[in-house]
Structure 1
Amino acid sequence: TFSHAKGYARYNLAGYFPNTIKRIVIMSDDDCAGKKWEIKDKSGKSVLSGTVEKSLIGKGDHTPMDFNHEIDFSSLTTVGTFTFKIEGIKAFKIKIKKNPYKSIIQSNLRWLRVTRSGSKDCLDHKPAHFGDTASYIYRRKGKENTDEWEEDPNGKKVNMLGGWYDGFVYTKFTLTTALTTYSLLRAYEINPSVFGKKYSKTDLIDILDEAKWGLDYLLKTMPDDNEFIIQMGGFADNERGTLLPHEDPRDGKRECYSIFSPNQMGNAAAALA
């Protein structure tokens, strides 16, 4: 969104596909109907122009401005970078690309690889937390809802190697892993053609390689009929400050939390289905 004075423009910062609908929304405190707009190419040549039509809607839940005008420039199908100009709003760049979401897709998949735990194929940090192969099981104290947990009296351990870190404290949550894994698989199912291979070292393209990483971790969340792991790492991880994964002094000493949570079990099952 670019703004100037009392006007704002909403448009797709990633860019537009050549042959799809392309729209810009002009939001303003003043009525912009009748104003001239123009799109120029890199050389400064005008490639499309028009007049702003009447406002479609006033101030509401999704816009803070009284006037909201839609400009359709779908007839412009040439790939390139263009400048959009209209009185009252700072000129801004719009892009038409063959695959406008390619860099965003790669960025998101790269980030998942950065957050990989217990992987030699991670990025931006050394492999770490291989000690999660022997994680101490903690269970909730008593039968009532409580935030108090205690270690299994027999010192039971499970293998929770893998998954993605949820944040800088390096805990891993089953719920977010399930939702992420499902989203990856669903995205590929909807539009497989936009995904490629850049980071994967397996036969799978990047998105499926990451999805498999999530699935492999989810398969470990129910190691037997008596356990369902909802979280790897605990309260102590929040207290040790900021450090890199391989610097974590708790590697090999971390606990996991087991409870039959219908919500989390359902999400894990959906991702694995």
Structure 2
Amino acid sequence: MSPLIEITDPRVFDPSTIIIDVRAGANAHERYLAGHLPNAIYANLDDDLAEHPADPAFGGRHPLPSLQDFAATLSRWGIKPDSHIVVYDDKNGAMGGARLWWMLRSIGHTNVQVLNGGLKVATDEGLELSTDDYKPTATGPYPIPEEFSHTVDIEEVEAAAKADNRIVIDVREGQRYLGFTEPLDLVAGHIPGAVNLFYSTSLSPEGKFLTSQALASLYNETIGDTNPQDVIVHCGSGVTACHTLLGMEHAGITGPKLYVGSWSEWSRRDLPIATEANGL
């Protein structure tokens, strides 16, 4: 199954499809109520797809929820192991949509797709949005998964960034990577040895993913002949990195891993930090 689905695909509005609208930010629910796809379940990035960290130095700003909590959330949303799920957000899939897609795939739920272009494609198509607060019908307990697969911890990232046969990709914008600005975390810069590939380069001017062929060319310029399983992707807090992992999947590059803690964890652990100025 393709990781992406187009708004024109009839499966998006099939009654058996579970649609989930993932928003982030203080006014997330208000934006959802202002307009969302009909029968789309409201999901909040901070509350449903992450734990609230006691200390971002250990797990970052968006650590994964416990497997038990995530399974309970899926049950609350009426999701079964064979449910077809379509997810989207209002950031071209770059925030919660890709994060939820990755989380589901990580626990083995493969029947999930991201709406290519997010909510914007619905408005561009002139579709009538709903303003109701849709409430799903809960289902029986979703089986608690064994793990979130394809993740790495900070120790593995540190080793990988020094290894010749591995690549650590930082998908934040270049100004943050180079250490000129840092709007969200305490220190600017990047992990020494990490390379930069801004996540938005995977998108067309209309906000949809490039073709699989164009994406393969884009990513292979960075990855080269490195085994995809030896590729680690991170961002600020483990969210937009999922957007790049989604793009890689669409390009046929399977196996890269997510560093969930990302820069928000690394930058708080008194570890080496590279910037344009220090040249590390």
Q: Normalised by the size of structure 1, how large is the TM-score? A: 0.21
More helix by share: 2
Q: Indicate the structure (1 or 2) with the bigger Cα radius of gyration.
A: 1
State the TM-score, normalizing by the size of structure 2. Answer: 0.21
Greater relative contact order (CA < 8 Å, ≥ 6 in sequence):
2
